[in-house]
Amino acid sequence: MLSKARVLEIRKVSSNCYFLLLEEARIARESLPGQFLHIRIGESLTPFLRRPFSIAGTSPENGTLKILFQVMGEGTRILSMVQKEDRLDCLGPLGSGFSTQKAHNTSVLLAGGIGAAPLMFLSEALLREQKKVIFYYGASSLEQIIPVRSFFPSEAEVYLATEDGSAGYRGFVTEAFQEGLNNGLKPAEIFACGPKPMLQKLAEKNRDWKFPMQISLEERMACGIGACQGCAVTVQEKGETRCGLVCRDGPVFNWDEVVW
């Protein structure tokens, strides 16, 4: 589960996002959409903890995998300075992935910001299953937008939304999606990843929509493997609430499982 991945490429793809191409055959082979890697940032004691990142795609034939990350604080800032041929200490793949049910045909993927990363990987899997993929992607402004069209398989239909209207729909991605629904869009299934308020909004709306919907959550992590109980999220099952772990029970949950 613990491997040193070789950096093949690192590239800036928006004002604060980076694309990382890694080579590690085992991870490339084993990873499922929705799973993540727990990456150690350098060898020094600060930053201390590993950082979790979704796997944004794999190529098992080439033994490579992709990560998309946004610079948020010290850890991601240091990660953005890795260079070709550096080795990254990766724990994973971890967590449970998205489950893609054969029955549903049109899948709508909803991403806010860097939440696009796990959905990129998912879209490849869905297209392989001959499903129609519609991708709604929201960012705060044009310069924050990662060039999703070059990252997403060309078969996917892509809709953009920016909060300031500098590209695509003006407003939140949830609003863009609502407009799509008003115009007759009929999703069979929804997959979403993004900031908590966006996911919470979706879960609220879905009480009326009632689409099958899976969401990918984030929580601060220490071990990443279910040992420390640090990444707790309250979940409910048949009316009873309990503590779920984002690293082990998630990061993907059913929309109605999560207690907000």
Partner 1 sequence: MANLEVELGALKLKNPVLAASGTFGFGEEYSSLIDLEKLGAIMVKGLTLKPRQGNPAPRITETPAGMLNAIGLQNPGLDAFLSRELPRLIDSHAAVIVNIAGDTEEDYITLARELSGVPGIVALELNLSCPNVKQGGILFGTSKMIMGRLITKVRGICPIPLIVKLSPNVTDITELAHAAEESGADIISLINTLKGMVIDIKSKRPLLGNITGGLSGPAIRPVAVRMVYDVYRSVKIPLIGMGGIMNLDDALQFFMAGARAVAVGAGNFVDPCAMPRLIDDLRSYLEKEGLQSVDEIVGSAQI
Q: Return the amino acid letter for 249.
A: D
Three-class DSSP category at 148 = helix
Nearest distance in Å: CB 157, ligand FAD:
22
End-to-end CA distance of the chain: 32
Tell whether omega for the bond before 147 is within 30 degrees of 0, i.e. cis: no
> Which chain residues interact with partner 1 by CB under 8 A?
1-2, 40, 45-50, 91, 219-233, 242-243, 248
Count of residues of this chain found to bind ligand FES when the rule CB under 6 A is applied = 12
Residue 73 or 239 having the CB closest to ligand FAD? 73
Q: Is 40 exposed, middle or buried (0-12, 13-18, 19+ CB in 10 A)?
A: middle
151 contact, one of ligand FES, partner 1, ligand FAD, none, CB 5-8 Å limit per kind = none
Q: Does 259 bind ligand FMN (CB under 6 A)?
A: no
CB 106 within 8 A of CB 130: no
Parallel, antiparallel, or unpaired for β 132-139 and 106-112?
A: parallel
> Which is it for the CA torsion 197, 209, 96, 54, positive or negative?
negative
69 contact, one of ligand FAD, ligand FMN, partner 1, none, CB 5-8 Å limit per kind = ligand FAD
Interface segment toward ligand FMN; rule CB under 6 A; list 111-119, 199-207, 222-230, 241-249: 222-230
Q: For residues 54 and 95, what is the distance between their CA atoms, to the nearest angstrom?
A: 10
224 contact, one of ligand FAD, ligand FMN, ligand FES, none, CB 5-8 Å limit per kind = ligand FES
Site for ligand FAD in 207-246 (CB under 6 A): 218-221, 246
Pick from 88, 120, 173, 247: which binds ligand FES (CB under 6 A)?
Answer: 247
Q: For residues 50 and 4, what is the distance between their CA atoms, to the nearest angstrom?
A: 14
Residue 114 or 221 having the CB closest to ligand FMN? 221
Pick from 39, 90, 134, 245: which binds ligand FES (CB under 6 A)?
Answer: 245
Q: Could you tell me how many residues make up the chain?
A: 260
Pick from 1, 228, 243, 259: which binds ligand FMN (CB under 6 A)?
Answer: 228
CB 187 within 8 A of CB 108: yes
Q: What residues make contact with ligand FES under the rule CB under 6 A?
A: 221-224, 226-231, 245, 247
